[in-house]
Structure 1
Amino acid sequence: MQQSMQQLDIFADSRDVVLRNDVVEHLQRRHAVDARASLTQLASEYPEDRALPAMTVLVRELENESSLPLTDHAELAEVRRHLENHVIPAVQQVLPAKDVHAWSTPCWRSLAQRAAPLVFCGTHTESHAAPLWLRAGDCAAATNAVNTIESWWRIPSPLAWMTEARYRASGLDAAWPLFAELAWLAPSRFAALIAGLRDASLNALRRRFDADFPGTGEIEDYVWFPAWLMIVKPALASRLGEARVQRDVPASRATALLGEILRREHEGDQHELMTLREELSRLHTGLFDAYMATRKVQRR
């Protein structure tokens, strides 16, 4: 197991370890002045200490904290890259694993607050407060930020942010309608979100879809995931039926159509059922075959 820099070695009372731990203690308390003093002492006595570069990054981060609002999307992107590429790796290198999230959260919260004045920009789609609030673990603030974006459900990035916020705040069942809308609108973003959430049930469904769905094997296949889900998990039909149907997307129409088919099956309307099944077959033959295979099994 990789050890963080602050962990003591067998010479727990050695001078370099004591000085290093002093820096870590002040960093954990976010005391910039004291952390700088301890870092200076460590650098003076042990200029080759391997902890110095990462510790210096964190001390500077505390010293340079700002609450000034950001008014430029490019500037926000630059500050975010600095956090992701320099600060967070330094935190992971210097602090115990159990403290990384707690130390990083105020950084993301501060940046989200500074980004609040920036309206959503189509040419800087990730430069917005919403994803920063998600990194800070504040789903309510992320939801509020997305709601400021006009027609957010028609734009991949905001829809993905709202889906994640709903999932983290209320669970998978509550988020299914948004997952469906995201799959229809941006299947690649849908797949990336599932991978990032690391939800065991979602990952299991994704693996099953990858193995069973009669598609092309390309990322665009995920546009059919909600319709396929109707077949393999009919209990989710009601939840998926809450999604905003996109009539210009065949996969969205297929999902709505399957919901209607399930209702007609329950009612026993065979004539209308045949018409609906024919329509489903025209939308996607492989999906229709998968649906009919489950019906043949049920009749045995």
Structure 2
Amino acid sequence: MSARQLDLFLDSREVVLVNDVVAAFRAGECARARNALAALRAESPERSELAPFAVLLAFLEKLRESDFATPDGDGLAQLLGEIDAVVVPATQALGSEARGFLDRIWRRLATAAAGQPFDPARPQIHAAALYLRAHAGAEAEGAASRIADGWNDPLILRWRALARYRVGGLQAARWQIFSLAWFATDSFPQLLAELSAPELESDWRRFHSAIEMPDASWFPAWCLLPHPEFVAALAGEISPPIRRAAAGIPGLGAFLALTKILAIEPGGYSRALVDERARLQAIDATFFAAYMRSRTVRHR
């Protein structure tokens, strides 16, 4: 065997041993990972992956010895801090298997935290947040929807928007997205970036080019102009608390007024249509002008 052949043999053996370690971590098997890591360390004590692999093994063993039957909020928060600071960087050694390794951990912690109440001071330990990190959209939506009085809470709405979008796409998440425009106006652009939904981003750009409104709370109302079909799709989401909140959010008031107008318009010109248009104009003259321009274009 030549020197080059020997090098290739040794290299390929190291690769096999590294893959053995990664496969053990992928399966979440501590004993198997420990044995595979020992074999890799004996064969190649200078491998750069040894240190991060040791970190991951120590954490898996810690999880195995932990009792999650009655999770403690302080302990869970501390554990999450350790994962973000120490474990996540170490998973880079797992390559493409990093996500699966972390998803298993987040799912286990989410399951353990499922019975914990929502704590606004520590939202990161709620099951919905943990399920989202595990890329478990349906479970995240279920956990978030069970939080009482979350209909206008920006954080809970964000959880539900992300979870619904991941499971059912834009149509499933539209109400939560619109709600964030009303109740978390300043952070709405960040949500758009996080969702990365091309159709929504296109409407957002058209909104800014078509009309000068002060903030994102007007975006849902504007969306009804090019997409009147949204009215029927979202009608069931309009609750009494939403109607009461409209008194303090002009953009929401315009949205509600426009839903009535769009329901009346197919019946032709009428006194009811005149009255509802007057209400919309009273909310904001600039938006009303944009609405009237859209009607002129539509019926031209």
1:287–1:127 CA distance, 2 compared to 1 (3 A): farther
Unaligned runs of 5+ in 1: 1-9
Q: Name the counterpart of 2:4.
A: none
Q: Name the counterpart of 1:88.
A: 88
Higher relative contact order, structure no. (Cα contacts within 8 Å, ≥ 6 residues apart) = 1
Deviates more, 1:248-257 or 1:168-177: 168-177
The correspondence for 1:11, drawn from 8, 16, 27, is 8
TM-score by length of 1: 0.82
- How do residues 58-97 of structure 1 correspond to structure 2 at under 5 angstroms? 58-65=56-63, 66-68=66-68, 69-72=70-73, 74-91=74-91, 93-97=92-96
**What amino acid does structure 1 have at the position aligned with 2:156?**
P
Q: Name the counterpart of 2:53.
A: 55
List per-residue Cα deviations over 1:204-251 (Å, max 9, x = no partner): 2233334434134xxxx2211110111121121212333333323221
Q: Name the counterpart of 1:146.
A: 144
Query: What is the rounded CA distance, in whole Å, between the counterparts of 2:25 and 2:124 in structure 1?
Result: 29
Query: What is the rounded CA distance, in whole Å, between the counterparts of 1:266 and 1:187 in structure 2?
Result: 32
Aligned-residue Cα RMSD (Å) equals 2.6
Q: Name the counterpart of 2:219.
A: 225
Query: What is the rounded CA distance, in whole Å, between the counterparts of 2:15 and 2:172 in structure 1?
Result: 49
Is 1:156 the counterpart of 2:150 in the alignment?
A: no
Query: What is the rounded CA distance, in whole Å, between the counterparts of 2:275 and 2:108 in structure 1?
Result: 56
Query: What is the rounded CA distance, in whole Å, between the counterparts of 2:211 and 2:75 in structure 1?
Result: 43
Note if contact 1:130-1:145 (Cα within 8 Å) is conserved in structure 2: yes
Is 1:259 the counterpart of 2:259 in the alignment?
A: yes
Q: Is the helix fraction higher in 1 or 2? A: 2
Is 1:29 the counterpart of 2:30 in the alignment?
A: no
1:152 shift after superposition: 1.6
Q: Name the counterpart of 1:278.
A: 278
Q: Name the counterpart of 2:3.
A: none
Query: What is the rounded CA distance, in whole Å, between the counterparts of 2:293 and 2:134 in structure 1?
Result: 45
1:241–1:180 CA distance, 2 compared to 1 (3 A): farther
TM-score by length of 2: 0.82
1:124–1:26 CA distance, 2 compared to 1 (3 A): closer
Q: Name the counterpart of 2:246.
A: 247
Q: Name the counterpart of 2:193.
A: 195
1:209–1:75 CA distance, 2 compared to 1 (3 A): farther
**What amino acid does structure 2 have at the position aligned with 1:118?**
Q
1:115–1:297 CA distance, 2 compared to 1 (3 A): same
Query: What is the rounded CA distance, in whole Å, between the counterparts of 2:278 and 2:176 in structure 1?
Result: 28
**What amino acid does structure 1 have at the position aligned with 2:260?**
E
The correspondence for 1:113, drawn from 93, 111, 114, is 111
**What amino acid does structure 2 have at the position aligned with 1:70?**
P
SS of residue paired to 1:241: helix
1:50 shift after superposition: 1.9
1:17 shift after superposition: 3.5
What percent identity do the matched residue pairs reach? 33
Note if contact 2:76-2:125 (Cα within 8 Å) is conserved in structure 1: yes
The correspondence for 1:236, drawn from 217, 222, 230, is 230
Query: What is the rounded CA distance, in whole Å, between the counterparts of 2:289 and 2:78 in structure 1?
Result: 50
1:299 shift after superposition: 3.7
Note if contact 1:160-1:189 (Cα within 8 Å) is conserved in structure 2: no
Note if contact 1:126-1:157 (Cα within 8 Å) is conserved in structure 2: no
Query: What is the rounded CA distance, in whole Å, between the counterparts of 1:81 and 1:209 in structure 2?
Result: 40
Query: What is the rounded CA distance, in whole Å, between the counterparts of 1:31 and 1:284 in structure 2?
Result: 62
Note if contact 1:230-1:236 (Cα within 8 Å) is conserved in structure 2: yes
Unaligned runs of 5+ in 2: 1-6
Q: Name the counterpart of 1:4.
A: none
Query: What is the rounded CA distance, in whole Å, between the counterparts of 2:286 and 2:124 in structure 1?
Result: 36
Query: What is the rounded CA distance, in whole Å, between the counterparts of 1:209 and 1:85 in structure 2?
Result: 40
Query: What is the rounded CA distance, in whole Å, between the counterparts of 1:89 and 1:36 in structure 2?
Result: 20
Note if contact 1:178-1:243 (Cα within 8 Å) is conserved in structure 2: no
